[in-house]
Structure 1
Amino acid sequence: MSSKRVNDLLVGLCLGISFMVRNEMIPFVNKDDSYYIMTFIIALAFIKWMINGFHINIKNRRNILEIGMQYSVIPKIIIYVYSIVIILAGLSEMRYLSSNIQTFINGLSAIAAFYLLDESIFKVSAYAVVVGYFGNIIIRIFNGTLFSKSFEYHDLAFSVGYIVIFIVMTKNKWTYKKLFIYLAVLVMILLAGKRIGIFSLVISIIWLFFVTRQSEKNQKCLITITGVVMMLVCYLLVYLVLNPDWNLIASNLNIDLAGRNYYYAAMQNYAHFGTDFIGLGRNACQVILKEDFPYFRVGNVHSDILRMYVESGFWMFSVWLIYYLIIMPKYIERKIGTKSSKFVMAVTLYTFIVYMTDNTELYLMNQFFYILTLLLFMNRELKGEYIK
């Protein structure tokens, strides 16, 4: 067996086990153990980098990995440092201080996996998703819980959306293996039944088809316009849910939020919409809901848009929006090309629509595939391979 096949098998095994652990309650295994497995992948990449003298010889790969770090890791560091500053300055409560290590692992593991396997990581990770999903079903069969609960694996359900967008944006040579993977992905989406995931995926694909039909000049304009519109929608969402009359507004509009309106209303006691709101610090929403509202029995506020505003404050929230919706698509357009800029806006559109009602910014698989598909697509554009 060649060393490449060994590497593919090792990384694929790690991903498959990690995805399975993260999405199902396995006896004697904690869900957070999946992060230790992903850390192992990061460690393998570091060892490879160290063996190579802390140097990446291939310029294109070096550029792609740098963009991956700028996209995934740097913003989190800035927000985390800002959180520490306002907490230590006495502008927020000390109980909100946390290590926040898990959120760094999500993106770093994707960067590490790409560095280790290059283009083959897409096939390996897609197989790992299928293994993780059907592995969970097998566990439920042995536990006698196959039909006792839904197949709604939140992290897995949202993560496959990135695989679909990647497939749509790349030219594929159809094989039985690929057909099996794609059909399995479709089954996972349908069984999960995540309405916001399906809705955001449809919107993103429609947007892609529409933009792709335009001239390159118009594509660039539409990418920027889309980013600005998404920013305004995010501001509007925060303004509405922090409005004391939010429950009345939601009721009048017949908006079914499946209990989220109570979590949003709870945040009104800690935050308000305005330029003078500085934020509470990273991880504050989780602490508030766990300690101050334990009867809700939820891990977080079920809206990353609201959570980022409450934790980061008006101005840092604005920087976060501008960075992902305006700056990075333009930066990738200059460094890589218009096709990659279009792709990053498509997956970011998908991501931010889901962010409105879920906490996928904290999900391991979701962030892994968000970053991984971006790296893979940029790699293909630089190589001039199989992209639309």
Structure 2
Amino acid sequence: MREKKLQILYITTMAVAVISSNFIVCAISVLWCMVALAIYLRKNGNKIRYGNKFGYAKFIYVYFLFPTIIIHLYTMVLILFGITDINVLSSNMLTYLPILLTIASIYLFHEKVLMYDFIIIIMAWVAEAAIRINKYGSYIIISSIKSVFGCQNAVGFFEVNDIVHAVGYVWLFYLFSSYRTRKNIARILVPLAIIFILGFKRIGLLAVIGTTLYYIILPKNNIKLSYRICRIVSVVICFFGIGYIWILGHTQVFENILTKYNIDTLSRNIFYRYIIVQTTFSPTFLGYGRGSVKIEMLNIFHNFSHVHSDIVKMFYEIGLIPFLIWITFYFSGMLKIFKKKFNAKSAIFYSFVAAYTFILYLTDNTEAYFVCRLIRTTMPVVYAVCYSNLSTEKLLSS
């Protein structure tokens, strides 16, 4: 009974948190991290033993949390040497906390945490939708449906970006799940589909279609071949990301495509051009520090704080060499790590999470979205331990 109450409390408080202010989402996340730590210490005599029921945390610390800390420290180095201004420095809490919450929630709820996170997505969106309907009236439902089809003057009132993009990750998990797990997820597919449609995002649709086609063509009965294909795709993604930056800074290809096909980027091309011209595609370009894009955007565009491309943002903030390391590690190197630490199947699944993330990164700013970061950290780890033909017990003893 106590465990059931804890589960309900986690779902309801986190659902409230993700549609609230940054302060509230941080406060509630910290609270759950403290709850997990208190329960752990009570069970283990006030000692942290990585090999005893908290071992999986070491994997997350090393491969998810540590790289973000390095980027933060790199910003401090830039400030120390006067390369960037101290006003770019922030606590980075919305980057760290989803990763720490992953560790806490997996410890508290084991493999069930994924379904709880999926339910949180639905509850949070429904609550936010109800608030907006109450504020603007029921006509916004029709307006949002019209916006999906590109109707003139139609507005998508239900574009809760963080939640809508997170739905795509749930779809990937569904594709890779066993028949039994799929049956459980199928119960929530309809509300998730409604969220995805009413909160329609073009890049989100492209990411879902792209990764679904990728899944369809991948051979299912030959794990070794599938892994090799994923490795090749991961390398292609890295080169594409690097090329994307070079094209934006040195050619008119992007602008020409937009003109030729009459694509409305909602001013993204203007944002990209302004940010990219302040960089150089050279090893001597060291970046301006974590958080610098937001400050620069607000200084020039006032009401716009995001450049709407995490690829462009990361390049601007950390410079060429760190950018090359970051994109190679996250989108390619992590596949080898998952294969080494778990198995090829978990590495293949991670490659799909990375591919979906990369497509979003091209024209959106999901890198710092709380729910997206929480899901894309929790999901590969839980899948690797609990759903890729490894014993669930390894989650507690690895």
Instruction: State the TM-score, normalizing by the size of structure 2.
Output: 0.87
Match of 2:148 in 1: none
One-letter identity of the residue aligned with 1:351: T
Match of 1:152 among 159, 163, 175: 159
Q: Of 248, 259, 269, which residue of structure 2 is paired with 1:261?
A: 269
| 8 Å CA contact retained: 2:223, 2:345 | no
Q: Which moved more, 1:357-366 or 1:375-384?
A: 375-384
- For 2:361, which of 352, 355, 360 is the aligned residue? 355
Q: 1:285 aligns to what?
A: 293
Aligned partners of 2:380 and 2:265: how far apart in 1? 31
Partner amino acid, structure 2, of 1:43: M
Give the Cα–Cα distance (whole angstroms) in 2 for the partners of residues 351 and 144 of structure 1. 32
- The alignment of Structure 1 onto Structure 2 pairs a total of residues equal to 373
Aligned residue type for 1:299: S
SS state of the match for residue 135, structure 1? helix
2:175 counterpart residue number: 168
Question: For the residues of structure 2 that align with 1:328 and 1:129, how far apart are their CA atoms?
Answer: 26
Distance 2:379 2:117 in 1: 10
Distance across 2 between alignment mates of 1:247 and 1:213: 36
The answer to which of 206-215 and 321-330 deviates more is 206-215
Residue identity opposite 2:264 in structure 1: D
- Paired residue for 1:25? none
1:272 is matched with 280
Letter in 2 for 1:74: F
The residue type paired with residue 105 of structure 2 is A
- The percent of aligned pairs where both chains have the same amino acid is 23
> Could you tell me which of 182, 189, 195 is aligned with 1:188?
195
Give distance in 1, aligned partners of 2:123 and 2:171: 17
Q: Which runs of 5+ in 1 are unaligned?
A: 22-29
After the TM superposition, which of the residue ranges 82-91 and 204-213 deviates more from structure 2?
204-213
The structural deviation recorded for 1:103 is 1.1
Residue in structure 2 matched with residue 211 of structure 1 by the alignment: 218
In 2, the alpha carbon distance for the partners of 1:250 and 1:95 equals 37
Relative distance call for 1:31 and 1:93 in structure 2 (3 A) is closer
Amino acid at match of 2:276: Q
| 69 and 201 in structure 1: CA distance in 2 versus 1, 3 angstrom threshold | farther
| Structure 2: distance between partners of 1:384 and 1:108 | 24
Question: 1:45 is aligned with what amino acid?
Answer: A
- Once residues 184 and 226 of structure 2 are traced to their aligned partners in structure 1, the CA distance between those partners, rounded to angstroms, is 34
- Unaligned runs of at least 5 residues, structure 2: 141-154, 393-398
Q: Sort the Cα spacing of 1:245 and 1:340 in 2 relative to 1 into closer, same or farther, 3 A.
A: same
2:129 is equivalent to residue 137 of structure 1: yes
Structure 1 match to 2:322: 316
Q: Kindly tell me: are residues 31 and 160 of structure 1, through their superposed partners in 2, closer, same or farther at Cα, counting changes over 3 Å?
A: same
Once structures 1 and 2 are overlaid, which stretch shifts more, 263-272 or 208-217? 208-217
Residue 152 of structure 1 contacts residue 191 of structure 1 at CA under 8 Å; is this kept in 2? Answer: yes
Task: Tell me whether 1:13 sits opposite 2:12 in the alignment.
Answer: yes
Aligned to 2:31: 40
After superposition, the CA RMSD in angstroms is 2.3
What's the CA shift for 1:356?
0.5
| 1:204–1:350 Cα contact (<8 Å) kept | yes
- Residue 145 of structure 1 and its aligned partner are, at CA, apart by 4.0
Matched-pair contact (CA < 8 Å) for 2:249–2:277: no
Please list, as runs of the form range in 1=range in 2, the aligned pairs for 1:179-258 lying within 5 A after superposition.
179-213=186-220, 215-243=222-250, 245=252, 248-254=255-261, 255-258=263-266
SS at match of 1:322: helix
Q: Secondary structure at the match of 1:193?
A: coil
Q: Indicate which of 341, 363, 378 corresponds to 1:335.
A: 341
TM-score where L is the length of structure 1 = 0.89
Residues 337-379 of structure 1 show CA distances to partners (whole Å, capped at 9, x for unaligned) of 0110001000010001100101100000111111111122012
Q: CA deviation at 1:223?
A: 1.8
Residues 1:66 and 2:74 aligned together: no
| Matches of 2:136 and 2:276, distance apart in 1 | 42
AA aligned opposite 1:71: Y
- Tell me which amino acid in the other structure corresponds to 1:81: L
